[in-house]
Amino acid sequence: MKQTLFSLSLRKTMFVALIAMMAMGACKSKKKAVAPAPAPAPKEEVVQQAPPPPPARSAEEVAAERLENIFNSVTNASSVNSANQSIQEALAMFSNQETPVLIVIHEENGIKDYDEPTTIKKYLEYLKDTKKNLNYISDIRMDASGKVSELELRRK
């Protein structure tokens, strides 16, 4: 019986050793498992071009911005003299004091409804009196001499 016990132990030992070798053989070493990183691609130097200059603003855009600033200064003027000075500055930009100012009150399907037409002189006096600038410039037309010939406003 000792022989069978010994041979049985030997079989068990051989079986365990075989399993251990298979397990160890199945595990790859970390060196083999980690593939070498590919060589980094040569970096091309990217020459950054300077951003293109902003497009030149049209005379209408410049005039509209300047008029918006003047309208705000008339509205926020601390004194009547200051407001009158801003009004004179604005009137110098127009072809005459009777230049029409149209205020769009409604637009549907491209058809615009306007408030009662007024003149730039009356509109500036209105801003001075009410101290409220409720409109913004939506369209501005200039004549050949570079003066404003028509102004269209909309509610903010």
User: Residues 78-137: pLDDT tens digits?
Assistant: 999 999 999 999 999 999 999 999 999 999 998 999 999 999 999 999 999 999 999 999
So where are the chain's domains? 59-155
DSSP 119-140: EHHHHHHHHHHH----EEEEEE
Q: Does CATH number 3.10.20 belong to domain 59-155? A: no
Q: How many helices (H) and strands (E) does the chain have?
A: 5, 5
Name the token pair of 18.
Answer: 């075989």
Task: Name, in order, each residue with C-beta under 8 angstroms of 36's C-beta and a sequence gap of 6 or more.
Answer: none
Neighbours of 44 (CB within 10 A): 6
pLDDT at residue 12, as a whole number: 78
Identity at 95, one-letter amino acid code: S
d(CA 155, CA 42): 58
Asked if residue 28 has pLDDT above 60, the reply is no
